[in-house]
Structure 1
Amino acid sequence: MEWISENKDWLFSGVAIAMPLAIIGWLISSRRKKQIQKGGDNSTNIQVGRNLRIGGRKEDD
């Protein structure tokens, strides 16, 4: 408790900078995660959020 009272200015100034930066980073990253899929006539479209693996050996699972 004594350390916090002695270093409160340093400690809380770091929090005051980190919180807005974290919020801005979250807002920017949430905008990039949107997926857009366009397909034409007679096309097969597959949309995957992460990795798609078709086939393969069962030992790799």
Structure 2
Amino acid sequence: MTSQYSGWADVERRIRESRPEASDAEWGSRERAARTATEAYVAEHRPRTRKCPEPEPQ
């Protein structure tokens, strides 16, 4: 059984083929920007954990 989805290498190849005039530096810049945006999204939507209140001394 084969997957209908491509591997990441195939996806990257197709994306790069769509813009052959882009330099490696431009692709690197785009990759860093995408990674930064993804990390910011994850940080913003991460479930918040609440610190449990300390028990009162008896």
> TM-score normalized by structure 1?
0.37
Query: Larger relative contact order (C-alpha < 8 A, sep ≥ 6)?
Result: 1
Greater Rg over alpha carbons, structure: 1
